[in-house]
Amino acid sequence: MALIVSLLIVLAALGACLLPLLEEPVSTDEPVGGERLGELDAERDRLIDAMRDLDLDLAMGKIAASDHQEMKRGLETRTVEVLGSIERAHAETDD
């Protein structure tokens, strides 16, 4: 019984970490307005939270280091894309 409960906890934690990856990403190719900038900010926050949760799962031994590395790399890549879009949006509004 304890094994089943532990497995369910691990699956729930992995689901929480992977949820931002499964959501439809905000396209970085569209023009960015005030509302769009808010969407990018929200996605950035979700990605940062997911990375924090992933690090916690690794520290608690819920996931293997190799899985952590692979998932974190994907989250970091998407975060860099979103941050670039936010930076471009701010540059466009400053012009």
Tell me: the pLDDT tens digits for 48-80? 999 999 999 999 999 999 999 999 999 999 999
Total count of domains within the chain: 1
Domain that holds residue 65: 2-21+33-94
pLDDT score of 33:
60
| Position 13 in a domain | yes
Q: How far apart are CA 77 and CA 41, in angstroms?
A: 16
| Position 58 in a domain | yes
Residue located via tokens 């996605």: 43
| Position 27 in a domain | no
Long-range contacts of 21-25 (CB under 8 A, 24+ apart): 21/50, 21/71, 21/74, 21/75, 21/78, 25/78
